[in-house]
Amino acid sequence: MLSWLQSYLDSRTQSVCCGSSTLDPAIVLFGVPQGSVLGLYTVDLLKLIESYNLHPHAYADDTQIYGFCAPSDSAQLQSQMSV
């Protein structure tokens, strides 16, 4: 099962098309395929992020985590983000 799941996520590529031009495919290192059922498992992720007093920004299957602090507290925020 693990091998099957890994094969679904590994060795994926994406490319950009504009008009008649297409860039060479680039390897996708992170995330789950947009529209996949695996994206459903990210729903509880937002609540988990907020439980650490951090802020999520989610779009489709992409999630960013950010926090705010005074410059003097940046080491503490970095530690909080690394939990």
Domain count, the chain: 1
Nearest to 41 by CA among 31, 54, 55: 31
pLDDT at 82: 83
Q: Which amino acid, residue 1?
A: M
CB 21 within 8 A of CB 15: no
pLDDT at 8: 73
Q: Which domain holds residue 49?
A: 2-81
Tens-binned pLDDT, residue by residue, of the chain (83 aa): 788 777 777 888 888 889 999 999 998 877 767 667 766 666 688 888 888 889 988 876 678 889 999 999 999 999 888 87
pTM of the model as a whole: 0.48
